[in-house]
Amino acid sequence: MTTDNSNNGIYTFTLFVADNKPNSAAARRNLELICQTCFTEHFEIIIIDILQNFQAALDNDILASPALLASLPHGEVTIIGDLSDTQNVLTALGVAGNE
């Protein structure tokens, strides 16, 4: 995982979860797998537990969890759910077919 998102081509994924509830745990696992498979080292994952930091969710217009806010070189995308439909996630991220 890289933390230098000042370079072009770095993907920053902020995952909003509710503690370690089943859907939140699944979203964490699925995001890590997607990143390791499709983005190699060009990503950063930030986990925000909305039960501990609800204001961060409000500040980012997140009203459901789990939710992924992806900051990509070409813009931002928000995806709601456990990220289990990999092909739809990749399509939303603009990298479909790179799986």
4 touches 10 (CB < 8 A): yes
% of residues, the chain, pLDDT over 70: 88
Write down the pTM of the prediction. Answer: 0.85
d(CA 54, CA 22): 19
44-53 pLDDT, tens per residue?
Answer: 999 999 999 9
Weakly modelled stretches of the chain, pLDDT under 50: 1-7, 98-99
Establish if 33 belongs to a structural domain.
no
Print the domain residue range for 65.
50-99
Split into its structural domains, the chain has a count of: 1
Instruction: State pLDDT tens for residues 60-74.
Output: 999 999 999 999 888
Q: Is residue 35 part of a domain?
A: no
pLDDT of res. 91: 93
Nearest alpha-carbon partner for 12 in 33, 28, 30, 35 = 35
pLDDT at 5: 40
Residue 20 lies in a domain: no
Q: Is there a domain that residue 62 lies in?
A: yes
Q: Is residue 38, in this structure, part of any structural domain at all?
A: no
